[in-house]
Structure 1
Amino acid sequence: MIPVRGFENHKVAVLGLGRSGMATARALHEGKATAICWDDNPEARARAEEEGFVCANLMTQGAFEDISALIVSPGIPHLYPGPNPVVTAALNAGVPVDNDIGLFFRSFATPEWDNLEVMPKVVAVTGSNGKSTTSALIHHVLEHAQRPTQLAGNIGRGVLDIEPAVDGDVVVLELSSYQTELARSLTPDIAVFTNLSPDHLDRHGGMGGYFAAKRRLFAEGGPDRAVIGIDEAEGAFLAGQLSMAAADDRVIRVSVDQKLSGPGWNVFAKKGFLSEYRKGRQAGSIDLRAIKGLPGVHNHQNACAAYAVCRTLGLAPRVIEAGFQSFGGLPHRSQIVAEADGVTYVNDSKATNVDAAKMALGAFKRIRWICGGLEKEGGVGDLAEAAGEVVKAYVIGREAAGFAMQLKGVEAEVCTTMQDAVARAVAEAEEGDTVLLAPAAASFDQYDSFEKRGEDFMAEVAAQTG
């Protein structure tokens, strides 16, 4: 655990008592602060009280009179589409609002670091798609190279749950826009921007607000190195803002759409081959085509970003390649879950938006596509252009019929449930086909999370192919 620094003998309010909220309360206690906790869910409050924490309604008059800060869990809005009333009360009382990410960055470094030979580093990864795989891949390669490393944030452990740094430690953080938009302290050594596509727009007041939330990781923190995916206009703009000149190698540009040239530091992938160029000369390359855990262009983009980070950390290309070869992929992200009768079954339940689904559709041939769920803003009409390899779509979700109608030019069957969709796909699949779950929608119309949806898919595949 990372004890929170700077609030000794002070009261700090914690709003939201899920995983990050409870970790925050414990870390505040370890840092000799008093956590005043609140959650609208009485069961969550009861669990906190069982651990000895004080719970108090933060909406009562005078609740913030002796509070030094309010720490808000990621799912609680502080501005758009409307601020939580507790956040409003804190701001009206002049109380600073922060989150666990801000507390981590103000607390991770300690005076004990003066005794370390190699300073610990923090790598922070954000973006719309691929940040989980990129973070896990960096962590995996570092483990393969026998470097001390921890994985946390939006993946793995909560940021305040990790262990204090050891000599040469590298902490890899996956950070969502919910986390970067509010943190008062953001000081990673290396920051990564994978890509940008519309997502969470209601929470950020539109695309500009969404990009601004991601951009804070770079503008507020001033990382020593920035790895930027430049295949969208926002990434290219961000790289230009951070770079002082064309040869400025503090910015590493990443692409899977174009060969990058010039005097700077570039990493790109074309036709399955990753290339690194520095000062106009090739410095490394990897054939990604045979790496089973990284299928498709979207995973090649993740590989480019992870490669750039690992090179910044001093690893040789061949060491990185060996780490890539042993990477098994992440659950619910292009995860091969079964092969039966010549048919491959792939779980990409994490493809919760249109761009992620497009990437998944581009990674496989002869696809029987299970899709549908709770649509996000903008609909799914754009998916038809990416569905060239789709033999047939099997649509699930409460609004399956409406979803299917948007898939112009694609044969689609309304199945509604995962059980029916898998059954139909198994019955009709031929040798060489891929049955792919890539919903292009949120899961909350039928499931508690994308993980639950993926688990249901895997269970049905096992039951119907076993």
Structure 2
Amino acid sequence: MIPVSGFEERTVAVLGLGRSGLSAARALREGGASVLVWDDNAGARETAEAEGFECRELARAGGFEGVDWLVVSPGIPHLYPAPNPVIAAAWVAGVPVDNDIGLFFRSLASAGSDWDMYDSPPRVVAVTGSNGKSTTSALIHHILHSTGRDSQLAGNIGRGVLDIDPPGDGGIVVLELSSYQTDLARALTPDVAVFTNLSPDHLDRHGGMGGYFAAKRRLFAEGGPDRCVIGVDEDEGLYLANQLSEAATDDRVIRVSSGTKLGGPGWLVYARKGFLTEWRKGRQVASIDLRSIKGLPGAHNHQNACAAYAACRALGVAPRQIEAAFLSFEGLPHRSQIVAEADGVTFVNDSKATNVDAAVKALQAFKNIRWICGGLMKEGGLSGLAPGLPNVTKAYVIGREAATFALGLPGVEAEICTDMATAVAKARAEAQPGDVVLLAPAAASFDQYDSFEKRGEDFAEKVRAGL
């Protein structure tokens, strides 16, 4: 645990008692704060009370009396589509609002009281973006661990950020950060910051695309990281890289791309035709063949590989060490995960493809696809799927909006299956050797499942049950 510093003998309220909320409450108490908590869920309050925390209904009159700070869990809206009543009450009371990520950055250095004695001070790598955050973060952690470095993975993946151990001499903390986390944190000071890409997502939460990008941009603008790894395949990435660099030769910014051969005198990492290439100061430094790496299939994973490679190079890891670690990376569950192979048919679980951009990248990674798709559709429609549809042999549509979803797939043979069991059974029965049965929903899961993980687990279970 990293005890939260700066709140000794002060009163801090915590709103939301899920994983990050309870973790923050414990770390605050460990650091000497007096902690009040609240969650609308009675069961969550009972759990907190069993640990000795006092519950207070913060939205009621006088709820913020004596409170110095409010810490909010990331899933709770603080501005759009409407402020949570507790957060609105904190504003009126003049109580600063923060989250566990802000607490982490303001407390990390004080948690390592022996840093002056370290040969190498600990460092933090923070990864954000629309798609690929989890794979990129996990891949960075895997590379560091494989090369003998002390690494911990936390944030939106792995452990809660305040649950990790204070890093030791030369230790590295790898954080995956969502826009919900970067938007509200009052301290953001990573040593290396990574921006993977940007596509429409969570627009209701951020008041549109501009607000969504602004939330991501805070990671780079607030703390001034020593090195920035920026995906430049979208205009927002090009803009961000330009804003952060002082000249074309400024190697504090590493530009990365998948599919585009980058040029110029700066520090560049790109993947093209299955090969990752690093250029620096106008000359090629290294090249890695990504085509045979089973844990990183497709152009979208090649983009993740470029971002992870660049971050690790910024930390001083040698290219051949990174290449060896790539070969042993097995990928993450629900992200282009091969769950079975039978009779020449490959079954792939990409349930994390909850938006159109992620789904089209999955579709472009394979050929002869029996595509299981559908769910709770997001803003923006399905027109962005067009580049991946030529690889689809047939679509098997699930979800409560299955009929509407199928209408958004022009030129694709689509069968309305509604539920996962029917879709898997039909796709398996019709698949031929060389086909890929791919779950890449292009939609959220909440019409039928509690999470994309549950949806992916159901797909894998149905596939394995039929073998």
Q: What corresponds to 1:391 in structure 2? A: 393
- Alpha-carbon distance between aligned partners in 1 of 2:423 and 2:383, rounded to the nearest angstrom: 21
Query: Partner letter of residue 394 of structure 2?
Result: K
Query: Partner letter of residue 296 of structure 1?
Result: G
1:25 equivalent to 2:25? Answer: yes
Q: What corresponds to 1:168 in structure 2? A: 170
Deviations 1:38-68 (A, max 9, x none): 0001110000000111001101222212111
Identity within the alignment, %? 74
Q: Does the Cα contact within 8 Å between 1:384 and 1:410 map onto a contact in 2?
A: no
Deviations 1:92-148 (A, max 9, x none): 111000000000000011232111111100000000000000000000000100100
- Alpha-carbon distance between aligned partners in 2 of 1:275 and 1:383, rounded to the nearest angstrom: 28
Q: What corresponds to 2:307 in structure 1? A: 305
1:410 Cα offset (Å): 0.4
Q: What corresponds to 1:102 in structure 2? A: 102
Query: Partner letter of residue 295 of structure 1?
Result: P
1:381 Cα offset (Å): 2.7
- Residue number among 246, 249, 252 corresponding to 1:247 in the alignment: 249
- Residue number among 236, 239, 244 corresponding to 1:237 in the alignment: 239
Q: What corresponds to 1:185 in structure 2? A: 187
1:170 Cα offset (Å): 0.5
Q: What corresponds to 1:295 in structure 2? A: 297
Q: Does the Cα contact within 8 Å between 2:298 and 2:364 map onto a contact in 1?
A: yes
Deviations 1:223-281 (A, max 9, x none): 00000000000000000000000000000000113111111100000000000000110
Q: What corresponds to 1:11 in structure 2? A: 11
Identify unmatched segments of 5+ residues in structure 1. Answer: none
Deviations 1:279-321 (A, max 9, x none): 1100111000000000000000000000001111111100000
Give the alignment of 1:44-193 within 5 angstroms: 44-110=44-110, 111-193=113-195
- Alpha-carbon distance between aligned partners in 2 of 1:106 and 1:338, rounded to the nearest angstrom: 45
- Residue number among 424, 449, 458 corresponding to 2:460 in the alignment: 458
Q: Does the Cα contact within 8 Å between 2:259 and 2:299 map onto a contact in 1?
A: no
Q: Secondary structure at the match of 1:269?
A: strand
Q: Secondary structure at the match of 2:114?
A: helix
Q: What corresponds to 1:263 in structure 2? A: 265
1:378 Cα offset (Å): 1.0
- Alpha-carbon distance between aligned partners in 2 of 1:313 and 1:21, rounded to the nearest angstrom: 31
Q: What corresponds to 1:319 in structure 2? A: 321
TM-score (norm: length of structure 1): 0.99
- Alpha-carbon distance between aligned partners in 2 of 1:175 and 1:415, rounded to the nearest angstrom: 35
TM-score (norm: length of structure 2): 0.99
Q: What corresponds to 2:451 in structure 1? A: 449
- Alpha-carbon distance between aligned partners in 2 of 1:395 and 1:132, rounded to the nearest angstrom: 26
Q: Cα RMSD (Å) of the superposition?
A: 0.6
1:154 Cα offset (Å): 0.2
- Alpha-carbon distance between aligned partners in 1 of 2:390 and 2:153, rounded to the nearest angstrom: 37
Identify unmatched segments of 5+ residues in structure 2. Answer: none
Range with bigger deviation, 165-174 or 112-121? 112-121
Q: Does the Cα contact within 8 Å between 1:177 and 1:210 map onto a contact in 2?
A: yes
Q: Secondary structure at the match of 1:245?
A: coil
Query: Partner letter of residue 23 of structure 2?
Result: A
- Alpha-carbon distance between aligned partners in 2 of 1:353 and 1:14, rounded to the nearest angstrom: 31
- Alpha-carbon distance between aligned partners in 2 of 1:51 and 1:278, rounded to the nearest angstrom: 53
- Residue number among 264, 276, 279 corresponding to 2:278 in the alignment: 276
Deviations 1:161-182 (A, max 9, x none): 0001111001000000000000
Deviations 1:16-37 (A, max 9, x none): 0000000000000100111100
Q: Secondary structure at the match of 1:32?
A: coil
1:392 Cα offset (Å): 0.2
Q: Secondary structure at the match of 1:160?
A: coil
1:382 Cα offset (Å): 2.5
- Alpha-carbon distance between aligned partners in 2 of 1:413 and 1:420, rounded to the nearest angstrom: 10
1:443 Cα offset (Å): 0.1
Q: Secondary structure at the match of 1:122?
A: strand
Query: Partner letter of residue 90 of structure 2?
Result: A
Q: Secondary structure at the match of 2:157?
A: coil
Deviations 1:174-204 (A, max 9, x none): 0000000000000000000000000000000
Query: Partner letter of residue 380 of structure 2?
Result: G
Range with bigger deviation, 99-108 or 377-386? 377-386
Q: Does the Cα contact within 8 Å between 2:198 and 2:236 map onto a contact in 1?
A: yes
1:370 Cα offset (Å): 0.2
Deviations 1:388-436 (A, max 9, x none): 1110000000110110011000000000000000000000000000000
- Alpha-carbon distance between aligned partners in 1 of 2:368 and 2:34, rounded to the nearest angstrom: 58
